[in-house]
Amino acid sequence: MGKKSYPRVILFSSGSCPWCSQAKSYLRQKGVRVKEVRVDEDPDAAKDVVRMTGQMSVPVLLIGSTKVVGFDKGRIDRLLGLGRS
């Protein structure tokens, strides 16, 4: 049985954000590869978050072309086709 294929997932986060850490851990636990972009280390990424969402708030997940602001397990699961466990 092969590994499930997921859309590209980018996590915009900061080092001081506990919700960011939880989102990253949750996705890795589910076997989803995550590219993490730290807005506290990359000013251009911080500007991208504001452009995408209209606010400077993390975590922001980009799942394919869909934005998820905050750590919303239900929405993440639906977008990735993950079953609740």
What pLDDT shows up at residue 6? 82
Sign of torsion over alpha carbons 72, 76, 78, 79: positive
CATH code at position 62? 3.40.30.10
In-domain check, residue 60: yes
Q: What is the pLDDT of residues 24-63, one digit of tens each?
A: 999 999 999 999 999 999 999 999 999 999 998 999 999 9
Give the structural domain span for 52.
9-80
The CA–CA distances, whole Å, from 51 to 3, 20, 46 equal: 34, 19, 9
Say whether pLDDT at 1 is over 50.
no
In-domain check, residue 58: yes
Question: Count of alpha carbons within 13 Å of 82, Cβ hemisphere only?
Answer: 20
In-domain check, residue 2: no
What pLDDT shows up at residue 18? 97
In-domain check, residue 1: no
What pLDDT shows up at residue 82? 85
Q: What is the pLDDT of residues 9-24, one digit of tens each?
A: 999 999 999 999 999 9
Number of domains observed in the structure of the chain: 1
